[in-house]
Amino acid sequence: MGRRVSARVRRRRLVLLGRTVVAALSLGCLVVSGLAWATYRQALSRLRTSTALRALPSTAPKSTHGDMNILLIGLDSRRDMNGNPLPAAVIANDLHAGDGSDLGGYNTNTLILLHVPGDGSKATAISIPRDDYVAVPGYGMRKIKEAYGLAKADADSQLYQQHVPEPRREQQARDAGRRSTLLTVENLLHVPIDHFAEVNLIGFYDVVSAIGPIQVCLNAPVNDPYSGANFPAGMQTLTAAQALSFVRQRHGLPNGDLDRTHRQQAFLAAVTHTLRTSGVFRNIGHLQALLNVAAKDVVIDDTLDPLKLAADASNLTSGNITFYTLPIQGYAVRDGQDVNLVAPQQIQTEVHTLLYPTHRLAHPTRQAAPPTKPDTVDVYNGAGQPGIAAATSVFL
- Beta-carbon neighbour count of residue 146 at 10 Å? 23
Dihedral-angle region of residue 319 (phi above 0 means left; psi in -120 to 50 means alpha; beta otherwise)? left
Asked if the model's pLDDT at residue 387 lies above 50, the reply is no
Q: Which residues pair with 198 in a beta bridge?
A: 73, 299
Closest of 263, 282, 207, 217 to residue 239, by C-alpha = 207
SS (H, E, C) 342-396: CCHHHHHHHHHHHHCHHHCCCCCCCCCCCCCCCCECCCCCCCCCCCHHHHHCCEC
Looking at per-residue pLDDT, the higher value among 146 and 378 belongs to 146
Asked if the model's pLDDT at residue 46 lies above 60, the reply is yes
- Beta pairing, strands 195-199 & 68-75: parallel
Predicted pLDDT of residue 244 = 81
pLDDT in tens, 335-350: 999 999 999 999 999 9
Classify burial at 217, counting beta carbons within 10 Å of its beta carbon; exposed 0-12, middle 13-18, buried 19 or more: middle
The rounded mean pLDDT for the chain is 76
Q: What are the helix (H) ranges across 225-283?
A: 240-248, 256-277
∠ CA 33-34-38, rounded to 5°: 120
pLDDT in tens, 232-282: 888 988 888 888 888 877 777 777 678 778 888 888 888 877 877 776 666
Instruction: Say if residues 298 and 197 touch (Cβ distance below 8 Å).
Output: yes
Over residues 192-198, the mean pLDDT reads 93
CA dihedral for 92, 96, 99, 101, sign (positive or negative): negative
Closest of 8, 30, 9, 37 to residue 287, by C-alpha = 37
Predicted pLDDT of residue 169 = 93
pLDDT in tens, 108-140: 988 999 998 888 888 899 999 999 999 999 999
Instruction: Say if residues 204 and 243 touch (Cβ distance below 8 Å).
Output: yes
Domain ranges of the chain: 47-392
Correct CATH for 47-392 of 3.40.190.120, 3.40.50.261, 3.40.50.1100, 3.40.630.190: 3.40.630.190
Closest of 164, 231, 185, 173 to residue 52, by C-alpha = 173
pTM over 0.85: no
Dihedral-angle region of residue 390 (phi above 0 means left; psi in -120 to 50 means alpha; beta otherwise)? alpha
